[in-house]
Structure 1
Amino acid sequence: MTHSALDQLKSMTTIVADSSDLSAIEKFRPLDATTNPSLITAAASQPENRALIENAFAQAKAEGYANDELIERTIDILTVKLGAEILKLIKGRVSTEVDAALSYDTEATIAKAKALLALYKQYGIDQNRILIKIASTWEGIQAAKALEAEGVHCNLTLLFGLHQAQACAEAGVTLISPFVGRILD
């Protein structure tokens, strides 16, 4: 029996979708998936996601948020809603990224991670199906170390060098997402 290149790859590795395209995720059935701000923006521009956006905005408004905080909360809710939709289509976990603007603030990164997890809990998603995606800055690694100590699984991204990978390993993070080409430069 002839297998596609994707089937052959699946037999040797874990396939992770880096996409907000729910129909593609449903079609290719990766084990895990990831979200990030650019993917959320792409998802927001897709007409089939309009209801998710409207519901996220309505929820943030009902929670009492206004102005810039309303936008930030809407984005967090939309990110989690999209993650919850992805989790309906995959068997594994979804990585949900903490805002990169918090990359140099350990406490703010931890607070945002916990806020995202609280939203997932509201939607009935078990914490073990979530990886909190954090930038591999020194502060981000410290946040991940603290979160991992509390049982929160982290995926460290924006990892460009072996020194970052070693620091992530020493912090006990669950997963790293290295930019392999940059590490080899």
Structure 2
Amino acid sequence: MANESDCVNENPASAPFNSERIQDVVLDHVLDNVSLFMGGGSSAERITLLMDSLQELSEKIALGAMANRVHLSDLPTFNGKISADTNQTVNDDQLYETRFRIVEQRGDNPKPIRDEVLSKAQAIESYGKEFVESYWGSLGERCPNSVTTGDRTLWFSIVRYPVNDQSMAQGNDVNSKKSYRAPSLR
């Protein structure tokens, strides 16, 4: 019985995209848009800008949540436990982000002539917001997708891409102990 109890009480590393990460994303968003949240403009104009801002924030959170797996609980059994996700590396604390991928092929050649992986901001900057919405979708909901014109085919998909951010790693060392912030204090 002691072995069964030990097996159930293992504490894997926490998922990199958790409630603390969401708090950080919200705080960064408010700081980036402080003039919007602090006032200015007419009521209708301000509400429209606020809604656009919150839509942008919700998309950022959704893209982050999609790219990072959720740590589900394992199911205890008589002999041990059944993993909630058989492909999951339990102690993987790598943070991932959703990237927008475009692959271009010509004719019957299976080797692509172009293969780009872009952040959403880079995709919008390179191709325009309407193009991103039409072929990828704001959250990648149109993927996988392809368009063929003559002998040229463009393939659209979203991929999970590891975030290599030195400042985030340094910030985690300095702020390793997070404190709870009440909603009214955020």
Whether TM-score is above 0.5 comes out as no
Q: RCO higher in 1 or 2 (8 Å CA, sep ≥ 6)?
A: 2
> TM-score with structure 1 length normalisation?
0.27
Higher relative helix content: 1
Q: Which has the higher strand share?
A: 2
TM-score by length of 2: 0.27
The structure having more radius of gyration, on CA atoms, is 2
